[in-house]
Amino acid sequence: MGYVYWVSVFFFLFRRTRADFWNSESLHTLRGHTSTVRCLKMSDSSTAISGSRDTTLRVWDIKTGLCKNVLVGHQASVRCLEIKGDIVVSGSYDTTARVWSISEGRCLRTLSGHFSQIYAIAFDGTRIATGSLDTSVRIWDPNNG
């Protein structure tokens, strides 16, 4: 019994070591969200932005692994996001989309109109398109939506 135990320990350790050897490990683990990360994009070589079921977006410095900002405002899961320059747009299960300034870390505009969850968003810097469970696609002007 003691023999089986030590052989098991050996194989467990060996398996872990072998896995570490062949597989890559992450450079950073970015912690802060309190629920599933549902969407993720890079905005430049040092910045990633994530959206979560915890209702927030987080702006991360991927070189240092630090959270630079938490974008608070949505009332339900953040399902999709797109970035163009300093602007990130997010679609949420709270039926709204939001336009955020990355550098200022604040919500510039809330786009209300859908009757149900937003599942998809597109943004080319000029127009925002959102697709929803309410079956419609809506087009918005980010400056005057």
Footprint of a copy of itself (CB under 8 A): 19, 22-31, 33-42, 45, 48, 50, 52, 54, 58, 60, 62, 65, 96, 99, 109-113, 119-124, 126-127, 129-133, 135-142, 144-145
Rounded CA-CA distance 97/112 in Å is: 7
Nearest approach, Cβ of 53 to a copy of itself (angstroms)?
9
Rounded CA-CA distance 45/38 in Å is: 21
Residue 32, C-beta contacts closer than 8 angstroms, at least 6 positions apart:
58, 67, 70
Pick 4 or 23: Cβ nearer a copy of itself: 23
Pick 7 or 137: Cβ nearer a copy of itself: 137
Pick 103 or 116: Cβ nearer a copy of itself: 116
Nearest approach, Cβ of 51 to a copy of itself (angstroms)?
8
Nearest approach, Cβ of 119 to a copy of itself (angstroms)?
6
Nearest approach, Cβ of 14 to a copy of itself (angstroms)?
16
Pick 9 or 120: Cβ nearer a copy of itself: 120
How many residues make up the chain in this entry?
Answer: 145
Nearest approach, Cβ of 102 to a copy of itself (angstroms)?
15
SS3 8: helix
Pick 28 or 103: Cβ nearer a copy of itself: 28
Rounded CA-CA distance 59/33 in Å is: 11
Rounded CA-CA distance 14/54 in Å is: 38
For 59-73, letters b (16+ CB in 10 Å) and e give bbeeeeeeeebebeb
